[in-house]
Structures are given as structure tokens and as C-alpha cells.
Structure 1
Amino acid sequence: MNKHTLSSFLAATAMLFGSAAAQAEETITLKVGHFWPATAMSQKKVLEPWCDKIAAESGNRLKCQIFPGTQLGGTPGQLYQQVADGVADIVWTLPGYTGGRFPSMEVFDLPFLIRDAEGASRAAWEYAQRFGAKEFAAVKPLAFHVHDAGQIHNNTRPIEKPADFRGLKMRAPTRLTNRMLAELGATPVAMPAPQTPEAVSKGVVDGYVLPWEVIPTLKLHELTKYHSEMDPALPALYTTSFIVAMNKARYASLPDDLKKVIDANSGADFSASIGKAWDDSASAARQQAVEHGNRFNTIPADTAAEWLALGERLADDWAKEMSAKGLPGEEMLGTARSLVKKYSK
């Protein structure tokens, strides 16, 4: 090899390795979509710290661009498809916003299943590994979790017993919470949380079920008179299951060391940490409704037999419905209950 050829070879090799090194050090921006306002706990206490963590652990080679309030277009119910299709790299949404598409995770929408969101979220992740892999095969799940105890809020009267729901139009997020409200005697109205303030202010609904954190985020405490809470000695009236998911192709395109960063910040611990953020948020959020002068009442545990019987009936019906679809309904219900009990405080 003459000097000219050797020089050319060395130059080409240097360019090749330099290009590879530059590619390895390239900053990768992940588009992260969700449906809450930018000021919501979900962004401030979960997504932003998570994004900061993956940035730090990747040497700032991974960063997020967050798009709150469905700024990438579409509706909350379309977020899952957006991440599957690559419109977003990561989304946070409710499987239940597309009713019937993800039947396995509906079990966590059943009434009186959970006691705290942290433990139930760890349970949800473990349960999903066993029963949800096929349903969520189009994406890479990063977390499955639930929110803290959902409560009852309305502008007509305090809710003390199931009969008090009669004649009320009530917003709920998912198929099973709508079924629960119908069984209680209300007229259920399905809608994503961000649509609730307008629906309340225009009288489209008389009330809604939501956890406390969401109330001040959407300024619903300024639009609501009555808040009815289940006795803390009881399991939560209801909760809702969520997923944080990543586009599979986007994940596959990452260098191996960056895949490890994503993997280290997803799974059971991440799921539980999201649940804990919801648990921790409830008290301060509730206080804003107190300071607004709204009225509160507690449904005592010793009068809750009718409520709990309804929960058992809905759970049994759900298990039978899943079995009719060819799924192991009884096993799914039993596993969810067992895992929640295992991880609850």
C-alpha cells in the first residue's frame, strides 16, 4: 500500500469512526403526549422528573419535548393509536378511553378493588405482564398504574346512599364506571376528564366522579357544590387504569445503552411511583375545595353494604363477560384482587 493509498484509507477510517461516535453522542428528542394541562400534577410531578432522570442517566443524549393537552392533535382517546403509529414517541393515556379494545385492564376499573394507588399500580404492572401482553403488543409499555380513590362530586345534593343518584346525569371515564353509575340509578355520560368543566358549567351533567388531584387542575372546585367521599376504611369507590407507552420502532432505534436507560426507568417501580404521586396529591387538592367553601359528607363504612354488594355484582358480571369472550375471566379477577392485596399498604 503506497503512502497516498494509506493516507486515504486512514482518512476514510477516521471519518467512519468519527461519524459513528457522533451518531452515538447525538441528542435524541422524544415527543411525549398527554391530555392534561401543562400545570397538572401528572406533568409537573411525574413526566418532567422522569424526563430529567433519563436525560441525566443518558448524559443528556435523551431529552423530552412534552405536548400537554393533546397538542399533537386528536382527542385523548386517540393518544394510544398515536404512539402505536409513531405520531408520538411516548404517551400517557387511559386504555378505557377506547372502550372494549383492552378488556384485560378493565379489571382495575371495577368498584371497591383498590385501597391505595401506589400498591395497586405495582399490582397493575404485574397483572399486565401476565394478561395484557397481547392487547398492548403494538407498543412498548413503560408503566401501568391507577389513580387514587375516586370520589363523587355534584351540584344537586349530597350523596349518602345509592338512591341519591336517581335522576342525576353523571360524568365517568370508562365503560365500567359508567356501568357502575347506571346501576346506582344515575344517567352516565362518558367523556374524558378535560371536557368535564364545560359539561358541568353548561348543565350537560349534574356531577362527575374523579379523584381529588384532578379537581383543582381543571378548576372544578369552583364549579361544584357537593363532594361525597367514601369512608377511608372502605376500599376506593373506583379507580381508573392508565398506561405510559412508547412507540416500539422508536425504542428499537435507540442505541443499546439508551435502551438500558429507558428500561431502568420503566416497569413496576415506575408504575408504583406514579401511583404514589397520585396518593400524595389528594390532600392538598381536596383542601382547595374546602377553602372554596364547598360542602362535604362521608358515606360511613357501617352503611356501605348496598354499595359493596353492587361492587361484587359488577365484578362477577365482568368475569362472566370476559369468559364469554374466551378470556380467563375468573382467573383475571382473582389475580387482580390477589395482587392488590399483596401490594396494598
Structure 2
Amino acid sequence: MLPMGAAAQETVTIKYSNWFPGNYFALTDVIEPWFAEIEKVTEGRVKVDILPKVVGTPASQFDVVRDGLADAGWFTTGFTPGRFPVAEFADLPLTSDRASIHAPVYDRIYREYLEDFNVYDGVHVLTTFPLSASHFFVKGKVINKAEDIAGLKLRAPSSNVIEIVKLLDGVPITKTPAEAYEMLSTGVIDGQVTLPSTLVGFNQADLTDSAYMVPGGLTGPVSMIIVNSNTWAKISEADRAAIMAISADKVAAKFGAEWEAQDLDAIKVLKADYNYSVVTASSEDVEHMRTLFAPIEEDWLKRAKEKGYEKPEELLEAYRAALIEEAKK
């Protein structure tokens, strides 16, 4: 028996623009099973077709989907620094280094506080979450304390990381992971702020040789899978509800848990297979960075208000409280 409102619906095929490597864990272990489940819960009325190559570039995925060049895609806000400042609260430094906790909480807070604010006009957000915590990875130098970042040219994947690098007297360079490969291999940059699993998954592990791990994480890059609003409207209300019942914070939790596990494994690989030096920041250095990075939060509050979001302090307070509660589960 068809769900109410679904009887007259023709099959909707969503064309998903994919820029991940074919064997990348996020694609094979989370995205593909989730898309199969979408087809299952809609009894075949909605299908997701993963395109063989990306439409546009990784950085242009929001516009690609909004403009209907593809129906859906993966977008990371850090690829367009400053464009969506209200949503960048997960990017604030030293927020969380537990993606399994961070990811589902972020999606819930987004839906409670920001979904009606229409941050992402022209698209529907199926799920949104910060990735695992990012850390420093450099070539030819062991970072023993935050001050050692001074003078280094580093890929900075978001507005907040740009400020982190600047506050440490480094030189931030804004590029996607794919673009970073050439810059690292040619020595144009000294390293990057990224996830351990990105180095392994995007074949960049041999381009740097040391890690400086910061408890709490430097940032949690905000990512999402979005679908064109017109495409979403073609789906019956009942099927949209069925899709969202297996998406949102539920699939965000799967992404978070998988990323957390992959990052732990990646660190082991970097040490064993690539002879990485891995230094963890001391508690004293973390507190030094917390004080140093305070203006980043103040700037985020200011930018959110400039975008018309009146009470970002309440959002941030609710977010941090929710992270504490999620950690107790």
C-alpha cells in the first residue's frame, strides 16, 4: 500500500555530483548504503544516481546544486570562506574532537535554530555535520608547540582556520583537499590544517611528515549533503518524510562515527607506514591557544549578527550544552 500522497508520484531520480575517490570510506561505507536505503523506504519512487564524475568543482557544489546543474551534492562551507558565516559555529576552535558526538548534535541544532532562518537558499539540507577535528600536518619540521607554526604556509579550509593560522603568525592558503595535493607536492605550501583520514584517503600521506594534534580540535569543518529545492519539491510529502526519517541527525551520526574511527586508524597508518612524528599539544599550550583564539568567537558572533541572526549567543550556548549532554550517553 502506498503512503498517502505518494500514489500519483512518478519515479524521481536524483543525480548526485560526486567528487570523492571511488574507494573513499565516506562514499562506500555511508553514502552508498544511505542512498540505497532512500530507495528502499520510498519503495523505489526516489532513486539516487551517483554520477561518475563531479559536476563543476568541489568548491562550487552549492551553486551547482542550487542552479540545478546536478540534483544533489556534497558541500563544505569552508570551501567558500565567509559565505555562510551563521552556520560556521562548529568551526570554532577547541569545540570537540569527538566526531561521533559532534556530528549528530550539529544537525539537531541546525534544524532547531537555523533551518527556518534559510541559511542555504535554493537547496534542502538532507544532513549537515562537522567532520572530525582538524590538526596541523607539515613537511620537514616537527611542531612541538603552537609558536612553531609561525612563518609556515598552510592550507586553511575555512574562515576560522584562516584566523587560527594568522593568530599563530602563519600564512593561510585557501584551497580544497584536491588542490592541496599539487601545492604540497611542489613545495608551494608547508602543510595544511586537515583531518588525518584526508591525508590517507586523498593520497597525501607522503606529502607531509609530522603532525601536531590539538586536543579539542582546531576546527570541525561543516559539511552537508544538499538537494535542489525544485527536485525536492517533486517528491511527495510522504516520501520526503520517509527520507528525512533516515537522514538528518541519524545519518550525521553515522558519518561522525565513521570519520572518528577512520581518523584513529589513519594516525596509526601515518606512524607505521610513513614514519610520521606525532606530537600532542600540552594542556598548557591548549590553554594558550584558547586565549589566543578568543577573538575568533567574538568575530563569529559579530558576523552572525551582521547576517541578521539576532541571538547567536543563545545558539552557541545551546550547542555547547547539547555536546555535553550527548557525551554523557
- Fold in common (TM above 0.5): yes
Contact 2:103 2:256 in 1 (8 A): yes
Alpha-carbon distance in structure 1 between the residues aligned to 2:293 and 2:196? 21
Among 225, 249, 261, the residue aligned to 1:280: 261
Shift in CA distance, 67/159, structure 1 to aligned 2, threshold 3 Å: farther
Q: Contact 1:226–1:296 at 8 Å: present in 2 too?
A: yes
Indicate whether 1:300 and 2:285 are aligned: no
Letter in 2 for 1:253: K
Work out whether 1:266 is the aligned partner of 2:247.
yes
Equivalent residues of 2:79, 2:157 under 8 A apart: yes
Matches within 5 A, 1:82-231: 82-129=64-111, 130-133=113-116, 134-230=118-214
Deviation at 1:85, TM superposition (A): 1.7
Alignment match of 2:291 (pick from 309, 323, 333): 309
1:108–1:239 contact (8 Å) kept in structure 2:
yes
CA distance in structure 1 between the aligned counterparts of 2:51 and 2:260, rounded to whole angstroms: 24
Bigger radius of gyration: 1
The 2-side partners of 1:103 and 1:294 are apart by 34
For 1:338, the equivalent position in structure 2 comes to: 321
In structure 2, do the counterparts of structure 1 residues 316 and 64 end up closer, same or farther at CA, with 3 Å as the change threshold? same
SS at match of 2:60: helix
Query: How big is the shift at 1:286?
Result: 2.0
Aligned partner of 1:60 in structure 2 is 44
Deviations 1:1-32 (A, max 9, x none): xxxxxxxxxxxxxxxxxxx97x75x5442211
Distance 1:156 1:84, change over 3 A: same
CA distance in 2 between partners of 1:318 and 1:28 (Å): 39
1:236 to 213, 217, 223: 217
Q: CA contact under 8 A between 2:14 and 2:72: conserved in structure 1?
A: yes
Separation of aligned partners in 1, 2:154 and 2:97: 23
Aligned 1:41-60 pairs, distance under 5 A: 41-60=25-44
Pair 1:235–1:58, CA change in 2 (3 A): same
TM-score by length of 2: 0.89
Bigger mean CA offset, 182-191 vs 253-262: 253-262
Secondary structure of the 1:136 match is coil
- The residue type paired with residue 130 of structure 2 is V
Taking the aligned partners of 1:83 and 1:46, their CA distance within structure 2 comes to: 20
Cα drift, residue 205 of structure 1 = 0.7
* Distance of 1:245 and 1:236 partners within structure 2: 26
Instruction: Indicate if the aligned counterparts of 1:35 and 1:93 stay in contact, CA closer than 8 A.
Output: no
Q: 2:270 aligns with which of 289, 292, 317?
A: 289
CA displacement at 1:156 relative to structure 2: 2.9
Q: Distance in 2 between matches of 1:302 and 1:104?
A: 31
- Which structure 2 residue ranges, 5 or more long, are not aligned? 1-5
Farther-moved stretch of structure 1 (291-300 vs 27-36):
27-36
User: How far apart are the structure 1 equivalents of 2:159 and 2:133?
Assistant: 17
Q: Which amino acid aligns with 1:79?
A: Q
State the partner residue of 2:3. Answer: none
1:320 maps to which residue?
302
How many residues are matched? Answer: 319
Q: Which residue of 2 aligns with 1:248?
A: 229
SS at match of 2:293: helix
Tell me the distance in 2 between the aligned counterparts of 1:95 and 1:324. 18
Query: SS where residue 148 of structure 1 aligns?
Result: coil
Q: Percent identity?
A: 25
Q: Distance in 2 between matches of 1:316 and 1:79?
A: 29
Instruction: Point out where structure 1 has 5 or more consecutive residues left out of the alignment.
Output: 1-19
The ranges of structure 1 where at least 4 consecutive aligned residues each deviate by more than 6 angstroms after the TM superposition are none
Alignment RMSD (CA, Å): 2.1
TM-score of the superposed pair, with normalisation by structure 1: 0.85
